[in-house]
C-alpha cells in the first residue's frame, strides 16, 4: 500500500455506521473511523488523512498528523518498555512500536530518543528504529565553517548535545559552549564550527563574528535570545538570582553591566530585555 505512513488526499467512497470508507489508489477501501468525521462530509469529498495500522494491524485512516511520517526522524518519548520493545508517543492513538532488535540502546520510560519511522516488510506495518547511525551520511566536504544550518537537538551526552541536520547529518554542540537551555526535540539554528575529517560536524549556537562574552554573560544572553525578557534586575533578591541563574548577585550585576555597555540588552524597572537591534 503506497499510502502507508504518509499524508494522502483520499475520496470518500461510502459511509457506514463505523465511519467512511476512502478509496485507495489500488482500488481497495480504507476505513476512516466515525470519530474523525464532522458530519458535513459527503460521498466524493477528498479528505487529507494519515494512513497507518490499528491495534489489530488493519490499515486505517486518521485525520491526525503524527510527529513523523514514513522515512522521517523525530525525537519521541518512550511510554512503555517491554522485553520485546518499546512503545513511543508519536501523537496518535496507537503508539509507534520500536522492536528490541531495532533499538540503538536500552530505553527507559519517560526518556526521549531519536527514532526513524520505517516499514517492517515482514508484517507490512510501521515501526520505529532508533539505530539512527545506520541512516546517516558524512557531511558534505564543501560545507565550511560559519555555514548556517537548522537542526534538531536529539541527545545529551557528557560532551554536549547531538544535533540532527537535514535528517542526514550529525553534529555536536559542546556543553562548555552552550549557555542557554536546550530541550530534546527542539529545532535550533546552528553554525558550523568545524567540518571534521570523520564526516561529523562541530557546531556552535553563536553566529560567526558575534563577540563571545564570559560564561555568566553568555548564559544570560542565551536565555534572552530564547525568551526575550528576564525578570531579574540589580534590585532583585540574591536568592532569586541564585535560583534562576546559579550565580551570585555580584556576578549577575557584572554580567548585565558588560552586556549593557555592549548595547546587547536594555535594563528596565522590572527586568532586562534583549536589545531589539540584535
Q: In terms of domains, do 228 and 269 share one?
A: yes
* CATH code, domain with 100: 2.40.50.140
User: Is residue 210 assigned to a domain?
Assistant: no
Which one of 180, 204, 228 terminates a domain? Answer: 204
User: Is residue 140 assigned to a domain?
Assistant: no
Q: In terms of domains, do 241 and 195 share one?
A: no
User: Is residue 17 assigned to a domain?
Assistant: yes
**What does the alpha-carbon distance between residue 214 and residue 260 come to, in Å, rounded to a whole number?**
14
Q: Among positive and negative, which fits the CA dihedral 175, 178, 180, 186?
A: negative
Q: Which domain holds residue 112?
A: 73-133
Radius of gyration of the chain from its Cα atoms, rounded to whole angstroms: 24
82: β partners: 85
- Predicted confidence at residue 273, as pLDDT, reads 92
pLDDT digits (tens, 9 = 90+) for 64-107: 999 999 999 999 999 999 999 999 999 998 999 999 999 999 99
Other Cβ atoms less than 10 A from the Cβ of 11: the count is 13
Other Cβ atoms less than 10 A from the Cβ of 130: the count is 21
- Within the chain, which residues score under 50 in pLDDT? none
**What does the alpha-carbon distance between residue 264 and residue 231 come to, in Å, rounded to a whole number?**
16
User: Is residue 209 assigned to a domain?
Assistant: no
- Predicted confidence at residue 140, as pLDDT, reads 94
**Confidence (pTM):** 0.78
Contacts of 43 (CB under 8 A, 6+ apart): 12, 13, 14, 15
User: Is residue 30 assigned to a domain?
Assistant: yes
- Predicted confidence at residue 15, as pLDDT, reads 96
Per the structure, the count of domains in the chain is 4
* CATH code, domain with 243: 1.10.10.10
Amino acid at each position: 500500500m503506497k499510502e502507508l505512513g504518509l499524508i494522502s488526499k483520499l475520496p470518500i467512497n461510502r459511509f457506514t455506521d463505523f465511519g467512511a470508507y476512502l478509496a485507495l489508489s489500488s482500488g481497495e477501501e480504507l476505513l476512516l473511523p466515525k470519530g474523525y468525521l464532522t458530519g458535513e462530509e459527503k460521498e466524493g469529498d477528498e479528505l487529507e488523512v494519515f494512513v497507518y495500522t490499528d491495534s489489530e494491524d488493519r490499515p486505517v485512516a486518521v485525520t491526525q498528523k503524527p510527529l513523523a511520517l514514513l522515512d522521517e526522524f523525530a525525537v519521541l518519548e518512550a511510554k512503555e518498555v517491554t522485553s520485546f520493545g518499546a512503545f513511543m508517543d508519536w501523537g496518535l492513538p496507537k503508539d509507534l512500536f520500536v522492536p528490541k532488535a531495532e533499538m540503538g540502546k536500552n530505553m527507559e520510560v519517560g526518556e526521549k530518543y531519536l527514532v526513524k519511522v520505517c516499514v517492517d516488510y515482514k508484517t507490512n506495518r510501521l515501526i520505529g528504529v532508533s539505530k539512527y547511525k545506520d541512516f546517516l551520511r558524512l557531511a558534505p566536504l564543501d560545507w565550511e565553517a560559519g555555514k548556517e544550518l537548522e537542526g534538531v537537538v536529539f541527545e545529551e551526552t557528557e560532551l554536549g548535545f547531538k544535533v540532527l541536520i537535514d535528517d542526514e547529518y550529525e553534529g555536536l554542540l559542546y556543553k562548555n559552549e552552550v549557555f542557554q537551555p536546550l530541550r530534546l526535540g527542539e529545532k535550533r539554528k546552528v553554525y558550523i564550527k568545524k567540518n571534521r575529517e570523520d564526516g561529523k560536524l562541530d557546531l556552535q549556537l553563536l553566529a560567526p563574528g558575534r563577540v563571545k562574552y564570559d560564561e555568566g554573560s553568555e548564559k544570560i544572553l542565551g536565555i534572552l535570545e530564547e525568551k526575550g525578557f528576564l525578570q531579574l534586575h540589580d534590585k532583585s533578591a540574591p536568592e532569586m538570582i541564585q535560583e534562576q541563574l546559579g550565580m551570585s548577585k555580584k556576578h549577575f550585576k557584572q554580567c548585565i553591566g558588560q552586556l549593557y555597555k555592549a548595547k546587547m540588552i536594555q535594563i528596565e524597572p522590572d527586568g532586562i530585555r534583549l536589545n531589539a537591534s540584535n
